[in-house]
Amino acid sequence: MFKPEWFSPDCMTARQRFREAVRGCGWTCESHSIDLAGPHGEDLTIDVGYSSADGSERTLVVSSGVHGVEGFFGSAVQLATLEQWAGRKLPIRCVLLHGLNPFGFAWLRRFDENNVDPNRNFLLAGECYEGSPPHYADLDKLLNPQRPPSALESFLLKACPAIARHGMPTLRQAIAAGQYEFPQGLFFGGAGPSAMHKLLKHHMPRWLKGSQSVMHLDFHTGLGPKGSCKLLIDYPMSPSASTRLTGWFGADSFEASSTKGISHKPRGGFGHWCVSQQWAPEYLFAFAEFGTYGPIRVVTGLRAENQAHHWGSPAAAMTVRVKQRLKEIFCPCDVKWQKNVLDHSLALVSSAIEGLQQ
């Protein structure tokens, strides 16, 4: 049964509800501070809940909030899941990573305290934090104007010439693939590993110790038609991995990163990095991506919030407005949308558990 309170009004409430739900299941709860404060002076933490291993070699990982403001949706998924599991002994081990980007979650940003897009920060060994996609430098003035946002400005009108010149697929790849040259720009991948990156590298081996087979679902919003769901894969899949995903979630449920469909080819993707760490002999990862609004509205919202963050006043009415708008873009207030995406998310989790038991 759908409960509106699964969608928390702010980061502090979501965090408290998550901690209570984890303890209500009799699980272990850990909180890792990032040594930064939220809007009300609260300590910002990455919270983790996990069940007893009990000798299980099969593990489900559910993560959320990599892109801070998307944490409202991801937290709702985890709260609903934990409520379903309360009082039950699960047949596999479960690890829930809540609010992985607590700064973005608390301050209504997609990016972290250093303006880093965490899902462009997980470069593999030997890769360098440098460079940008073709055309990004040409688009920087359009994407990242160095002034506060204005209600009179139309990003769509300004973007039309670029769309006509390059086409949407090329433009989407240029914008969203990840760049390492414009620290105050959109989709900045950072100059080195982020706090989230370091924390996961340190603790994931402990949380997954003894696992032989892992299914990792990382929940996101903002890509695709409103209410739709697609599992996105950002790493080369073996035939056996593809067969398992097909059997567990359906033949049309997932999409490999490309310039077609709803995805793009990012650098520094979280999934590819997790799989490369070899924490388990079998490690499957999928971004569970749920659609909200169209791509122009999404980029417009990200652009305006980025302007407000870097060049506006935190207390200004326009700053407050664009941040609330960004929250709506990535977690719509529409109850029909909320119920639909939660139902679909719980079904994904259930399918993952059934698949891991096979």
pTM: 0.95
| pLDDT for res 164 | 61
Structure-token match 């709860």, residue found: 29
Nearest alpha-carbon partner for 56 in 200, 206, 210, 167 = 210
Domains of the chain: 4-124+187-296+327-357 (3.40.630.10)
CB 60 within 8 A of CB 356: yes
- Averaged pLDDT in 10-residue chunks for the chain of 358 residues: 94 98 96 97 97 86 98 98 92 97 98 97 96 89 91 72 65 84 96 97 96 97 95 93 94 75 74 97 97 93 96 94 98 97 97 95
| pLDDT for res 258 | 53
Q: How many helices (H) and strands (E) does the chain have?
A: 12, 8
DSSP H stretches of helix in the chain: 11-24, 71-85, 102-107, 136-143, 155-166, 168-176, 195-207, 239-249, 270-276, 295-311, 317-330, 335-357
Residue 252 tokens, joined: 């049309």
Distances 309 to 110, 312, 323, 351 between C-alpha atoms, Å: 11, 6, 9, 40
